[in-house]
Amino acid sequence: MTKWAFTQESLCSNTSVSLQGATGLSVSLFIFQETMYIEENTYKNDMISLIFLLKEKVGALAKVLRIFEEKSINLTHIESRPSRVNKDEYEFFINLDRRNTPLLTDIIKTLRNEMGVTVHELSRKKKKDAVPWFPRTIQELDRFANQILSYGAELDADHPGFKDPVYRARRKEFADMAYNYRHGQPIPKVTYTEEEKKTWGTVFRELKTLYPTHACYEHNHVFPLLEKYCGYQEDNIPQLEDVSKFLQTCTGFRLRPVAGLLSSRDFLAGLAFRVFHSTQYIRHGSKPMYTPEPDVCHELLGHVPLFADISFAQFSQEIGLASLGAPDEYIEKLATVYWFTVEFGLCKEGDTIKAYGAGLLSSFGELQYCLSDKPEIQSLNLEKTAVQKYPVTEFQPEKVRRFASSIPRPFSIRYDPYTQRIEVLDNAKQLKNLAESISSEMGTLCSALKKIE
Ligand SMILES: [Fe+2]
Protein backbone atom coordinates (compact mmCIF):
# COMPACT_ATOMS: atom_id res chain seq x y z
CA MET A 1 0.00 0.00 0.00
CA THR A 2 1.37 3.37 -0.93
CA LYS A 3 1.34 5.93 1.77
CA TRP A 4 1.58 9.65 1.76
CA ALA A 5 4.93 10.59 3.14
CA PHE A 6 4.28 11.89 6.60
CA THR A 7 6.65 9.67 8.50
CA GLN A 8 9.26 11.18 10.74
CA GLU A 9 11.92 10.03 8.34
CA SER A 10 10.38 11.78 5.39
CA LEU A 11 9.88 14.93 7.40
CA CYS A 12 13.62 15.10 7.68
CA SER A 13 14.08 14.56 4.00
CA ASN A 14 13.91 17.08 1.26
CA THR A 15 10.29 16.30 0.60
CA SER A 16 8.87 17.47 3.86
CA VAL A 17 9.23 21.17 3.47
CA SER A 18 7.53 20.95 0.15
CA LEU A 19 4.58 19.57 1.99
CA GLN A 20 4.69 22.20 4.66
CA GLY A 21 5.29 25.17 2.39
CA ALA A 22 2.64 27.74 1.72
CA THR A 23 2.75 26.73 -1.89
CA GLY A 24 4.57 23.51 -1.33
CA LEU A 25 2.25 20.96 -2.71
CA SER A 26 2.57 21.89 -6.30
CA VAL A 27 6.33 21.82 -6.37
CA SER A 28 6.51 18.44 -4.83
CA LEU A 29 4.81 17.26 -7.94
CA PHE A 30 7.58 18.33 -10.18
CA ILE A 31 10.27 16.90 -8.02
CA PHE A 32 8.62 13.66 -7.23
CA GLN A 33 10.99 11.53 -9.25
CA GLU A 34 13.95 13.06 -7.50
CA THR A 35 12.74 13.21 -3.97
CA MET A 36 10.44 10.24 -3.50
CA TYR A 37 7.75 12.42 -2.09
CA ILE A 38 5.65 9.30 -2.24
CA GLU A 39 7.20 5.92 -1.77
CA GLU A 40 9.45 4.92 -4.57
CA ASN A 41 7.41 1.85 -5.42
CA THR A 42 4.52 4.03 -6.50
CA TYR A 43 6.41 4.62 -9.68
CA LYS A 44 7.90 1.18 -9.99
CA ASN A 45 4.57 -0.52 -9.54
CA ASP A 46 3.26 1.16 -12.61
CA MET A 47 0.98 3.39 -10.68
CA ILE A 48 -0.13 6.86 -11.56
CA SER A 49 -0.48 9.22 -8.65
CA LEU A 50 -2.53 12.38 -8.62
CA ILE A 51 -3.34 15.01 -6.06
CA PHE A 52 -6.39 17.18 -6.36
CA LEU A 53 -7.71 19.93 -4.17
CA LEU A 54 -11.38 20.30 -3.28
CA LYS A 55 -13.28 22.90 -1.33
CA GLU A 56 -14.70 21.51 1.89
CA LYS A 57 -18.25 20.77 0.82
CA VAL A 58 -20.64 17.83 1.19
CA GLY A 59 -20.62 15.65 -1.91
CA ALA A 60 -17.62 17.35 -3.54
CA LEU A 61 -15.47 14.21 -3.40
CA ALA A 62 -18.31 11.96 -4.59
CA LYS A 63 -18.71 14.17 -7.65
CA VAL A 64 -15.06 13.75 -8.58
CA LEU A 65 -15.06 10.03 -7.93
CA ARG A 66 -18.07 9.63 -10.17
CA ILE A 67 -16.02 10.87 -13.12
CA PHE A 68 -13.50 8.08 -12.57
CA GLU A 69 -16.33 5.61 -12.13
CA GLU A 70 -17.94 6.64 -15.41
CA LYS A 71 -14.72 5.75 -17.21
CA SER A 72 -14.51 2.47 -15.26
CA ILE A 73 -11.30 3.48 -13.59
CA ASN A 74 -10.53 1.72 -10.35
CA LEU A 75 -8.70 3.82 -7.79
CA THR A 76 -6.29 1.61 -5.89
CA HIS A 77 -5.62 4.07 -3.12
CA ILE A 78 -7.12 7.28 -1.82
CA GLU A 79 -6.07 9.46 1.06
CA SER A 80 -7.01 12.92 2.27
CA ARG A 81 -5.83 15.65 4.55
CA PRO A 82 -6.64 19.33 5.14
CA SER A 83 -4.76 21.52 2.68
CA ARG A 84 -1.83 23.41 4.08
CA VAL A 85 -2.08 25.88 1.25
CA ASN A 86 -5.74 26.86 1.39
CA LYS A 87 -7.45 26.54 4.72
CA ASP A 88 -10.91 25.79 3.28
CA GLU A 89 -9.70 23.03 0.99
CA TYR A 90 -8.84 19.35 1.27
CA GLU A 91 -6.09 17.58 -0.62
CA PHE A 92 -6.79 14.13 -2.00
CA PHE A 93 -4.06 11.79 -3.05
CA ILE A 94 -5.05 8.93 -5.35
CA ASN A 95 -3.38 6.04 -7.12
CA LEU A 96 -4.59 4.31 -10.23
CA ASP A 97 -3.21 1.75 -12.60
CA ARG A 98 -0.91 3.04 -15.32
CA ARG A 99 -2.99 1.16 -17.93
CA ASN A 100 -5.58 3.89 -17.47
CA THR A 101 -3.25 6.54 -18.85
CA PRO A 102 -5.12 7.07 -22.17
CA LEU A 103 -8.32 7.95 -20.30
CA LEU A 104 -6.62 10.16 -17.81
CA THR A 105 -6.04 13.18 -20.03
CA ASP A 106 -9.81 13.56 -20.57
CA ILE A 107 -10.55 13.11 -16.91
CA ILE A 108 -8.04 15.72 -15.84
CA LYS A 109 -9.41 18.10 -18.47
CA THR A 110 -12.94 17.63 -17.13
CA LEU A 111 -11.83 18.12 -13.55
CA ARG A 112 -9.88 21.24 -14.36
CA ASN A 113 -12.09 22.92 -16.92
CA GLU A 114 -15.60 21.86 -15.98
CA MET A 115 -15.30 21.48 -12.25
CA GLY A 116 -12.53 23.98 -11.53
CA VAL A 117 -10.56 21.42 -9.54
CA THR A 118 -6.81 21.93 -9.10
CA VAL A 119 -5.12 18.69 -10.16
CA HIS A 120 -1.46 17.79 -9.90
CA GLU A 121 0.00 14.80 -11.67
CA LEU A 122 2.72 13.22 -9.61
CA SER A 123 4.09 10.33 -11.54
CA ARG A 124 2.86 10.37 -15.09
CA LYS A 125 5.70 12.55 -16.29
CA LYS A 126 8.66 10.74 -17.75
CA LYS A 127 11.89 10.66 -15.79
CA LYS A 128 13.63 13.01 -18.21
CA ASP A 129 11.14 15.74 -17.33
CA ALA A 130 11.99 15.62 -13.65
CA VAL A 131 13.17 18.91 -12.23
CA PRO A 132 16.25 18.77 -10.02
CA TRP A 133 15.52 19.30 -6.36
CA PHE A 134 15.95 22.82 -5.04
CA PRO A 135 15.45 24.37 -1.62
CA ARG A 136 12.07 25.94 -1.05
CA THR A 137 12.80 27.60 2.27
CA ILE A 138 15.84 29.30 3.68
CA GLN A 139 16.11 26.59 6.37
CA GLU A 140 16.58 23.99 3.67
CA LEU A 141 19.98 25.48 2.89
CA ASP A 142 21.10 23.47 5.92
CA ARG A 143 21.12 20.44 3.67
CA PHE A 144 24.07 21.80 1.75
CA ALA A 145 26.31 21.44 4.80
CA ASN A 146 26.27 17.69 4.16
CA GLN A 147 26.77 17.98 0.44
CA ILE A 148 30.12 19.71 0.23
CA LEU A 149 32.42 18.43 -2.48
CA SER A 150 35.52 18.58 -0.31
CA TYR A 151 36.02 19.22 3.36
CA GLY A 152 37.86 22.44 4.18
CA ALA A 153 40.73 20.68 5.93
CA GLU A 154 41.77 18.65 2.89
CA LEU A 155 44.58 20.57 1.23
CA ASP A 156 46.27 19.89 -2.09
CA ALA A 157 49.97 19.09 -2.07
CA ASP A 158 50.81 22.49 -3.58
CA HIS A 159 48.79 24.41 -0.97
CA PRO A 160 51.04 26.74 1.08
CA GLY A 161 49.71 25.14 4.27
CA PHE A 162 50.00 21.53 3.14
CA LYS A 163 53.04 20.72 5.28
CA ASP A 164 51.92 22.76 8.28
CA PRO A 165 50.14 20.50 10.80
CA VAL A 166 49.07 23.47 12.95
CA TYR A 167 47.44 25.18 9.99
CA ARG A 168 45.73 21.97 8.93
CA ALA A 169 44.33 21.41 12.39
CA ARG A 170 43.08 24.99 12.41
CA ARG A 171 41.40 24.48 9.05
CA LYS A 172 39.63 21.45 10.44
CA GLU A 173 38.32 23.53 13.36
CA PHE A 174 36.79 26.00 10.92
CA ALA A 175 35.36 23.24 8.76
CA ASP A 176 33.75 21.54 11.76
CA MET A 177 32.23 24.79 12.92
CA ALA A 178 30.65 25.45 9.54
CA TYR A 179 29.54 21.85 9.15
CA ASN A 180 27.56 22.03 12.37
CA TYR A 181 26.06 25.44 11.66
CA ARG A 182 22.29 25.63 11.14
CA HIS A 183 20.18 28.44 9.78
CA GLY A 184 19.03 30.87 12.46
CA GLN A 185 21.98 30.33 14.75
CA PRO A 186 24.45 33.15 15.26
CA ILE A 187 27.64 32.47 13.30
CA PRO A 188 30.23 31.37 15.88
CA LYS A 189 32.70 34.11 16.71
CA VAL A 190 36.33 33.24 16.17
CA THR A 191 39.30 34.26 18.23
CA TYR A 192 41.88 34.69 15.52
CA THR A 193 45.53 34.12 16.42
CA GLU A 194 48.15 36.86 16.24
CA GLU A 195 49.61 35.21 13.14
CA GLU A 196 46.20 35.13 11.44
CA LYS A 197 45.63 38.78 12.28
CA LYS A 198 49.03 39.63 10.86
CA THR A 199 48.16 37.92 7.58
CA TRP A 200 44.87 39.81 7.42
CA GLY A 201 46.67 43.07 8.23
CA THR A 202 49.06 42.65 5.31
CA VAL A 203 46.27 41.94 2.83
CA PHE A 204 44.06 44.70 4.22
CA ARG A 205 46.79 47.36 4.15
CA GLU A 206 47.97 46.58 0.64
CA LEU A 207 44.54 46.38 -0.93
CA LYS A 208 43.35 49.55 0.74
CA THR A 209 45.98 51.51 -1.13
CA LEU A 210 44.45 50.41 -4.44
CA TYR A 211 40.73 50.79 -3.69
CA PRO A 212 40.38 54.54 -4.22
CA THR A 213 41.69 54.25 -7.77
CA HIS A 214 40.74 50.70 -8.76
CA ALA A 215 37.50 49.74 -6.98
CA CYS A 216 34.05 50.68 -8.24
CA TYR A 217 32.00 53.43 -6.64
CA GLU A 218 29.82 50.99 -4.69
CA HIS A 219 32.81 49.31 -3.07
CA ASN A 220 34.34 52.62 -2.04
CA HIS A 221 31.01 53.85 -0.79
CA VAL A 222 30.42 50.89 1.52
CA PHE A 223 33.97 50.31 2.72
CA PRO A 224 34.07 53.16 5.28
CA LEU A 225 30.79 51.87 6.72
CA LEU A 226 32.33 48.47 7.20
CA GLU A 227 35.24 50.10 9.00
CA LYS A 228 32.85 52.02 11.19
CA TYR A 229 30.33 49.29 12.01
CA CYS A 230 31.91 45.90 11.37
CA GLY A 231 35.44 46.08 12.71
CA TYR A 232 37.21 46.30 9.35
CA GLN A 233 40.60 47.33 10.71
CA GLU A 234 44.15 46.43 9.88
CA ASP A 235 44.62 44.72 13.25
CA ASN A 236 41.22 43.03 13.45
CA ILE A 237 39.59 40.32 11.35
CA PRO A 238 35.88 41.13 11.24
CA GLN A 239 33.46 38.51 12.57
CA LEU A 240 31.08 36.98 10.01
CA GLU A 241 28.17 37.40 12.41
CA ASP A 242 28.68 41.17 12.67
CA VAL A 243 29.08 41.50 8.93
CA SER A 244 26.05 39.35 8.24
CA LYS A 245 23.90 41.51 10.52
CA PHE A 246 25.16 44.63 8.80
CA LEU A 247 24.36 43.24 5.35
CA GLN A 248 20.88 42.26 6.47
CA THR A 249 20.14 45.87 7.37
CA CYS A 250 21.41 47.05 3.98
CA THR A 251 20.00 44.55 1.49
CA GLY A 252 18.74 41.51 3.36
CA PHE A 253 21.80 39.54 2.29
CA ARG A 254 23.28 37.32 4.97
CA LEU A 255 26.35 35.16 5.35
CA ARG A 256 26.47 31.55 6.36
CA PRO A 257 29.68 29.67 7.05
CA VAL A 258 30.58 26.88 4.67
CA ALA A 259 32.75 23.88 5.49
CA GLY A 260 34.16 23.29 2.03
CA LEU A 261 33.52 23.53 -1.65
CA LEU A 262 29.86 23.54 -2.67
CA SER A 263 28.57 22.48 -6.06
CA SER A 264 27.65 25.37 -8.34
CA ARG A 265 24.01 24.37 -8.05
CA ASP A 266 24.02 24.58 -4.26
CA PHE A 267 26.09 27.73 -4.12
CA LEU A 268 23.84 29.55 -6.59
CA ALA A 269 20.72 28.34 -4.78
CA GLY A 270 21.95 30.18 -1.68
CA LEU A 271 21.96 33.44 -3.63
CA ALA A 272 18.28 32.94 -4.47
CA PHE A 273 17.60 33.41 -0.74
CA ARG A 274 20.11 36.26 -0.46
CA VAL A 275 22.43 33.94 1.39
CA PHE A 276 26.13 34.00 0.65
CA HIS A 277 28.16 30.96 1.67
CA SER A 278 31.32 32.29 3.19
CA THR A 279 34.56 30.78 4.40
CA GLN A 280 35.83 31.83 7.81
CA TYR A 281 39.43 30.61 7.81
CA ILE A 282 42.34 32.66 6.55
CA ARG A 283 45.04 31.82 4.00
CA HIS A 284 48.42 30.47 5.12
CA GLY A 285 50.67 33.09 6.72
CA SER A 286 53.69 32.17 4.59
CA LYS A 287 52.07 33.71 1.50
CA PRO A 288 49.75 36.50 2.56
CA MET A 289 49.30 37.82 -0.96
CA TYR A 290 48.29 34.47 -2.41
CA THR A 291 45.51 31.97 -1.82
CA PRO A 292 44.52 29.08 -4.04
CA GLU A 293 40.95 29.12 -2.69
CA PRO A 294 38.50 31.62 -1.25
CA ASP A 295 39.34 32.63 2.32
CA VAL A 296 37.97 35.19 4.74
CA CYS A 297 40.02 37.98 3.10
CA HIS A 298 38.43 37.18 -0.24
CA GLU A 299 34.91 37.11 1.21
CA LEU A 300 35.17 40.15 3.47
CA LEU A 301 37.18 42.45 1.22
CA GLY A 302 35.95 41.23 -2.15
CA HIS A 303 32.35 40.12 -1.79
CA VAL A 304 30.86 41.75 1.25
CA PRO A 305 31.04 45.43 0.21
CA LEU A 306 29.09 44.74 -2.98
CA PHE A 307 26.40 42.69 -1.23
CA ALA A 308 25.58 45.87 0.70
CA ASP A 309 24.58 47.53 -2.56
CA ILE A 310 20.89 47.25 -3.47
CA SER A 311 21.33 46.78 -7.23
CA PHE A 312 24.16 44.32 -6.87
CA ALA A 313 22.23 42.32 -4.28
CA GLN A 314 19.28 42.17 -6.65
CA PHE A 315 21.53 41.12 -9.50
CA SER A 316 23.12 38.35 -7.45
CA GLN A 317 19.75 37.07 -6.34
CA GLU A 318 18.50 36.99 -9.93
CA ILE A 319 21.35 34.63 -10.84
CA GLY A 320 20.40 32.47 -7.87
CA LEU A 321 16.71 32.40 -8.71
CA ALA A 322 17.48 31.49 -12.31
CA SER A 323 19.42 28.47 -11.09
CA LEU A 324 16.62 26.86 -9.07
CA GLY A 325 15.48 23.68 -10.76
CA ALA A 326 17.46 24.52 -13.91
CA PRO A 327 18.98 21.67 -15.95
CA ASP A 328 22.67 20.95 -15.36
CA GLU A 329 23.89 22.61 -18.57
CA TYR A 330 22.20 25.86 -17.55
CA ILE A 331 23.72 25.69 -14.09
CA GLU A 332 27.09 25.58 -15.77
CA LYS A 333 26.24 28.65 -17.83
CA LEU A 334 24.97 30.52 -14.78
CA ALA A 335 28.12 29.61 -12.87
CA THR A 336 30.10 31.09 -15.74
CA VAL A 337 28.00 34.24 -15.68
CA TYR A 338 28.62 34.43 -11.95
CA TRP A 339 32.33 33.96 -12.52
CA PHE A 340 32.65 36.76 -15.05
CA THR A 341 30.51 39.20 -13.09
CA VAL A 342 30.44 38.64 -9.33
CA GLU A 343 33.97 37.23 -9.25
CA PHE A 344 35.77 39.02 -12.06
CA GLY A 345 33.48 41.78 -13.29
CA LEU A 346 34.66 45.20 -14.38
CA CYS A 347 32.36 48.15 -14.91
CA LYS A 348 32.51 51.53 -16.55
CA GLU A 349 32.26 54.70 -14.54
CA GLY A 350 32.12 57.42 -17.14
CA ASP A 351 35.10 56.59 -19.30
CA THR A 352 37.00 54.86 -16.55
CA ILE A 353 37.01 51.15 -15.91
CA LYS A 354 36.70 49.98 -12.32
CA ALA A 355 36.61 46.58 -10.65
CA TYR A 356 33.60 45.15 -8.89
CA GLY A 357 34.41 41.42 -9.02
CA ALA A 358 35.42 39.93 -5.67
CA GLY A 359 38.31 37.97 -7.18
CA LEU A 360 39.81 41.26 -8.30
CA LEU A 361 39.00 43.31 -5.21
CA SER A 362 40.60 40.76 -2.90
CA SER A 363 43.83 40.24 -4.78
CA PHE A 364 46.47 42.93 -5.02
CA GLY A 365 48.04 41.43 -8.13
CA GLU A 366 44.75 40.85 -9.97
CA LEU A 367 43.45 44.28 -9.09
CA GLN A 368 46.55 45.99 -10.45
CA TYR A 369 46.63 43.80 -13.53
CA CYS A 370 42.97 44.07 -14.49
CA LEU A 371 43.14 47.82 -14.89
CA SER A 372 46.47 47.80 -16.70
CA ASP A 373 46.60 47.74 -20.49
CA LYS A 374 47.41 44.02 -20.49
CA PRO A 375 44.10 42.12 -20.26
CA GLU A 376 41.73 41.96 -23.19
CA ILE A 377 38.43 43.41 -22.06
CA GLN A 378 35.16 42.42 -23.69
CA SER A 379 31.50 43.24 -23.12
CA LEU A 380 29.19 40.86 -21.37
CA ASN A 381 27.44 38.55 -23.77
CA LEU A 382 25.70 35.77 -21.91
CA GLU A 383 25.61 33.47 -24.90
CA LYS A 384 29.36 33.70 -25.37
CA THR A 385 30.56 34.42 -21.87
CA ALA A 386 31.96 30.94 -21.42
CA VAL A 387 34.82 31.74 -23.78
CA GLN A 388 35.38 35.32 -22.71
CA LYS A 389 37.59 36.92 -20.12
CA TYR A 390 37.11 40.06 -18.11
CA PRO A 391 33.87 41.43 -19.48
CA VAL A 392 33.15 45.09 -19.11
CA THR A 393 29.73 45.30 -17.65
CA GLU A 394 27.41 47.04 -15.34
CA PHE A 395 25.45 44.59 -13.26
CA GLN A 396 22.95 44.26 -16.11
CA PRO A 397 20.22 42.35 -14.31
CA GLU A 398 17.99 42.62 -17.37
CA LYS A 399 20.48 40.45 -19.29
CA VAL A 400 20.41 37.83 -16.57
CA ARG A 401 16.62 38.04 -16.52
CA ARG A 402 16.43 37.49 -20.26
CA PHE A 403 18.84 34.59 -19.98
CA ALA A 404 16.84 33.15 -17.07
CA SER A 405 13.66 33.18 -19.13
CA SER A 406 15.39 30.96 -21.71
CA ILE A 407 16.03 28.25 -19.12
CA PRO A 408 13.62 25.38 -19.69
CA ARG A 409 11.64 25.08 -16.47
CA PRO A 410 8.00 24.00 -16.35
CA PHE A 411 7.02 26.70 -13.83
CA SER A 412 7.80 30.24 -12.76
CA ILE A 413 9.12 31.11 -9.36
CA ARG A 414 9.50 34.10 -7.15
CA TYR A 415 11.05 34.69 -3.76
CA ASP A 416 8.77 35.76 -0.95
CA PRO A 417 10.97 37.83 1.37
CA TYR A 418 8.36 37.83 4.14
CA THR A 419 8.31 34.06 4.51
CA GLN A 420 11.78 33.49 3.02
CA ARG A 421 10.32 30.88 0.75
CA ILE A 422 10.45 30.21 -2.95
CA GLU A 423 6.97 30.38 -4.38
CA VAL A 424 6.21 28.26 -7.41
CA LEU A 425 3.65 30.15 -9.43
CA ASP A 426 1.54 27.46 -10.95
CA ASN A 427 -2.00 28.09 -9.88
CA ALA A 428 -4.54 30.84 -10.25
CA LYS A 429 -4.76 31.61 -6.55
CA GLN A 430 -1.04 32.31 -6.27
CA LEU A 431 -1.09 34.49 -9.35
CA LYS A 432 -4.03 36.41 -7.94
CA ASN A 433 -2.15 36.96 -4.66
CA LEU A 434 0.86 38.15 -6.61
CA ALA A 435 -1.26 40.51 -8.70
CA GLU A 436 -2.76 41.96 -5.52
CA SER A 437 0.63 42.48 -3.98
CA ILE A 438 1.97 44.15 -7.16
CA SER A 439 -1.14 46.30 -7.35
CA SER A 440 -0.61 47.48 -3.79
CA GLU A 441 3.04 48.31 -4.60
CA MET A 442 1.95 50.14 -7.73
CA GLY A 443 -0.43 52.19 -5.62
CA THR A 444 2.44 53.17 -3.34
CA LEU A 445 4.62 54.00 -6.34
CA CYS A 446 1.96 56.16 -8.03
CA SER A 447 1.19 58.00 -4.83
CA ALA A 448 4.90 58.66 -4.19
CA LEU A 449 5.40 59.86 -7.78
CA LYS A 450 2.50 62.28 -7.45
CA LYS A 451 3.97 63.70 -4.26
CA ILE A 452 7.36 64.45 -5.81
CA GLU A 453 5.95 65.99 -8.99
FE1 LIG B 1 34.30 34.42 -4.46
Give per-residue pLDDT as tens, 396-452: 666 777 777 788 887 888 999 989 999 888 788 888 888 998 999 999 999 999 998
- Burial (0-12, 13-18, 19+ Cβ within 10 Å), 337: buried
In the predicted model, is pLDDT for residue 95 greater than 70?
A: yes
Q: Tell me the per-residue pLDDT of 215-230, one tens digit each, with 9 for 90 and over.
A: 999 999 999 999 999 9
CA–CA gap between residue 251 and residue 397 (Å, rounded) = 16
Q: How far is the CA of 117 from the centre of ligand 1 (A)?
A: 47
Clarify whether 343 is annotated catalytic: yes
Give me the pLDDT at residue 5, please.
Answer: 26
Residue 343 annotated as binding site: yes
Neighbours of 90 (CB within 10 A): 17
Q: What is the mean pLDDT of residues 130-142?
A: 89
CA dist 423 → 12, 75, 190, 323, 419 (Å): 21, 31, 36, 14, 10
Rg (CA), the chain: 25
Task: Say if residue 298 carries a ligand binding annotation.
Answer: yes
For every residue of 99-110, DSSP letters joined together read GGHHHHHHHHHI
pTM of the model: 0.69
246: Cα within 13 Å, side-chain hemisphere: 24
Q: First CA to last CA across the chain, in angstroms?
A: 67
Task: Give the pLDDT confidence score for residue 395 in this predicted structure.
Answer: 55
Query: pLDDT tens digit string along 260-302?
Result: 788 889 999 999 999 999 999 999 988 888 888 889 999 999 9
The CA 359 to ligand 1 mean position distance, Å, reads: 6
> Which pLDDT value is given to residue 89?
83
Q: How confident is the model at residue 143 (pLDDT cuts 50, 70, 90)?
A: confident
Q: Is the distance from CB of 74 to CB of 96 less than 8 angstroms? A: yes
Q: Cα 197–306–231 angle (5° rounding)? A: 30
> How far from the centroid of its chain's Cα atoms is residue 132's Cα?
13
What pLDDT is attached to residue 152?
60
Q: Verify whether residue 77 is a known catalytic residue.
A: no
- DSSP-assigned beta bridge partners for residue 236: 233
Of residues 373 and 326, more confidence is placed in: 326
The reported pLDDT for the residue numbered 397 is: 63
Distance from the alpha carbon of residue 340 to the mean position of ligand 1, in angstroms: 11
pLDDT-derived band at 44, boundaries 50, 70, 90: very low
Residue 391 has pLDDT above 80, yes or no: no
379 or 279: which leads in pLDDT: 279
Mean pLDDT, the chain, whole residue set: 79
Amino acid at 334: L
- Which has the minimum average pLDDT: 114-118, 208-212, 237-241? 114-118
Q: Is 362 a catalytic residue?
A: yes
Per the CB < 8 A criterion, the answer to whether 77 and 97 are in contact is: no
Choosing from 362, 363, 366, 423, the catalytic residue is 362
Which region among 55-59, 385-389, 431-435 has the lowest average model confidence (pLDDT)?
Answer: 385-389
Q: Which residues have their alpha-adjacent CB atom under 5 A from ion ligand 1?
A: 294, 358
Q: What is the pLDDT of residues 162-186, one digit of tens each?
A: 888 899 889 988 988 988 999 999 9
Does the annotation list 303 as a binding residue?
yes
Task: For residue 277, indicate whether it is catalytic.
Answer: no
CA dist 53 and 92 (Å) reads 6
Count of residues for the chain? 453
Triad 214, 217, 218: Cα angle to 5°: 115
| 3-state secondary structure at position 61 | helix
> Catalytic pick from 39, 298, 299, 316?
298
Pairing of strands 254-257, 275-278: parallel
Q: Which helix (H) or strand (E) holds 254?
A: strand 254-257
Q: How far is the CA of 175 from the centre of ligand 1 (A)?
A: 17
Residue 326 CA to ligand 1 center (angstroms) comes to 22
